[in-house]
Structure 1
Amino acid sequence: MYSFTIEKSEELRLVNKAQAGDPDALETLLRQNYGRIYSICRKLAGNDADADDATQEALLSIVRKISSFKGESRFATWAYRIATNACLDEIRKRKRRPQLEFSENNESRLSTVRTSRSMEDQISDRLLIEDALKTLPDEFKIPLILRDQAGMNYQEISFILSLPEGTVKSRIARARERLKGELSGNQRVDQNVKGLEHE
């Protein structure tokens, strides 16, 4: 995973070179954005296999569509939009495939090493929240994940999902309300969800 950042002017220079056919510039842009693209796909898809597939599709789409980038947003934001769409396509494909009851999440639960009660609580809370997120419709789940787990601002989410900013805020608020309903009764998790409401 790559963590270095590119200034906006350097990003634009690389985009221009990539659009002119420079493979090194294109590779630098892909490396720059790979970590966050994978992270978005992993959070939306919910498992490594689908996230890997969606990430590969996103990277291929970026390569194919680089010439259509017009600079109306940061390149990174444009790339995350493509990644989100690739992930949504992967989720749609998954819904058409028969699913086994045993999932990666179950496997990771079984292999979790019990080190301390506090660590167990954190892992348990995370799994409960992930399970609750799965119950949300995509129209609520996706903006919430992009905001709270991918750390995007409302303007970026608005661009990525092609929705007005007010709609994004409303869907995130509704998603949090639904999550609270799903998680009611678990005081530790309730506190985590309530902590998100101030944003």
Structure 2
Amino acid sequence: MSKANPPTSETLADEWLVVRCQLGERDAFDELVARWQLPLWRYARQLTGHDAASDDATQDVWLRVLRGIARLREGAKLRPWLFGIAHRVLMDRLREQYRMPLVSDDAADLEAIPIDESALQLEADLAALSDGLARLPAPACEVLTLFYLQQLSLDEVSQVLAVPVGTVKSRLHRARRLLRLQLDIQGER
């Protein structure tokens, strides 16, 4: 028999925010945005690669959250619920991009961002890692971002992506292998 994990203070705070939002407290929604804006924006930034696209996507996420918060039944599941909405918004946007013809006058968009040689070694490593992530297919980048950068559990990633936990594990394994290959190709490993 397995015991459920006891709720953390963050989970309890999220639950309370959800209840307050559902009761119509305007300040509660502002608190919710303040608490989750940056993590959602970083997730969107990692997948889109552009600040402006991340801003637009997170704005869409918040509109969907505002419209749907009343239907959220388990406040403890706020985190995977928010990232699930972000996942759907970003996948919708990716589908739209794939439908559009690829036209670009700016060759710099197609180039990798150069790593500043004068930066600290840690900054260089982070830039190389970010560049390697950007070169991965969207599903691989997404699963790594959710698990490692957003620190969602396997169960939460499973909920966000709407796939079984075993699929998340295999996607993580494949994505890590692809990232290692990218870093080897760049000579960063």
Q: Which residue of 2 aligns with 1:37?
A: 40
Mapping of residues 25-174 of structure 1, within 5 Å? 25-71=28-74, 73-97=76-100, 98-100=102-104, 101-103=106-108, 106=111, 109=114, 114-116=117-119, 118=121, 121-122=124-125, 125-126=128-129, 128-133=131-136, 136=137, 138-174=138-174
Number of aligned residue pairs = 180
Identity between Structure 1 and Structure 2 (%): 26
Summarize deviations over 1:112-150 as a string: whole Å, max 9, x none.
Answer: 6542584784366236413432xx2x3333212212232
Q: Which moved more, 1:70-79 or 1:112-121?
A: 112-121
For residues 127 and 29 of structure 1, what CA distance do their matches in structure 2 show? 28
Deviation at 1:23, TM superposition (A): 1.2
Q: Which runs of 5+ in 2 are unaligned?
A: 1-7
Question: After TM superposition, what 4+ stretches of structure 1 lie above 4 angstroms from structure 2?
Answer: 103-108
SS at match of 1:84: helix
**TM-score, normalisation: structure 1:** 0.76
8 Å contact 1:143–1:157 — kept in the other structure? Answer: yes
Aligned partner letter, 2:98? K
Separation in 2, partners of 1:67, 1:120:
42
Q: TM-score, normalised by structure 2?
A: 0.79
Contact 1:55/1:87 (CA < 8 Å) preserved in 2? no
Highest RCO, 1 vs 2 (Cα 8 Å, sep ≥ 6): 2
- Give the direction of change, closer, same or farther, for the CA distance of 1:26–1:119 in structure 2 (3 Å limit): closer
Q: CA deviation at 1:157?
A: 0.4
Change (3 A) 1:103 1:61: farther
Note the C-alpha offset of 1:161: 0.7
Counterpart residue number, 2:19: 16
Equivalent-residue separation in structure 1 for 2:133 and 2:48 (angstroms): 11
Q: What residue identity is the alignment partner of 1:62? A: V
> RMSD value over aligned CA atoms?
2.9
Q: Which moved more, 1:54-63 or 1:11-20?
A: 11-20
Q: Is the 8 A contact 1:61 1:82 kept in 2?
A: yes
| Post-superposition CA distance 1:2-52 (Å, at most 9, x none) | xxx963333222211211222111111121111111111111111112111
